[in-house]
């Protein structure tokens, strides 16, 4: 089975048995939900003589992030922690329509 989920149309996310509403950016109205290809923990405290970041021993993996609408906090995690997402199909159709219109405009 192949499910195509438009990440810009994700409105709710189920993580750890709790549903979160995804915040949309106030200026651009874009979803804050995104996938990151190098999710890993870092320690930003200087620990070596040269300063800078000390990266702990973690294995980078595919992860997600979004801004929680209720708290304004950023939520990060490995993709395997996602149990479900809600995609607003009307929004996905609208975004697809806009992309097709932009593509047509570039060709003309």
Do 47 and 41 meet the contact criterion of CB atoms below 8 Å apart? Answer: no
User: pLDDT value at position 51?
Assistant: 55
Q: What is the pLDDT of residues 66-89, one digit of tens each?
A: 999 999 999 998 888 999 999 888
Given a cut of 80, whether residue 42 has pLDDT beyond it is no
pTM value is 0.68
Q: Provide the residue ranges of all domains of the chain, joining segments of one domain with +.
A: 10-86
Q: How far is it, in rounded angstroms, from Cα 26 to Cα 10? A: 16
The strand order across the sheet containing 10-15 reads 18-21, 10-15, 82-87
Q: What sign does the dihedral 64-69-74-75 (CA atoms) show?
A: negative
pLDDT at 58 over 60: no
Asked whether residue 45 carries a pLDDT value surpassing 70, the answer given is no
Quote the pLDDT of residue 93.
85
């Amino acid at each position: 089975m192949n499910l195509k989920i438009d990440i810009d149309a994700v409105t709710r996310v189920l993580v750890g048995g709790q549903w979160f509403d995804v915040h949309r950016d106030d200026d651009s109205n874009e979803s804050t939900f995104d996938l990151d290809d190098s999710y890993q923990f870092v320690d930003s405290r200087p620990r070596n003589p040269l300063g800078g970041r000390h990266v702990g021993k973690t294995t980078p993996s595919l992860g997600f992030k979004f801004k929680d609408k209720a708290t304004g906090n950023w939520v990060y995690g490995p993709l395997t922690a996602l149990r479900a997402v809600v995609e607003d199909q009307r929004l996905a159709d609208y975004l697809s329509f806009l992309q097709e219109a932009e593509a047509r405009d570039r060709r003309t």
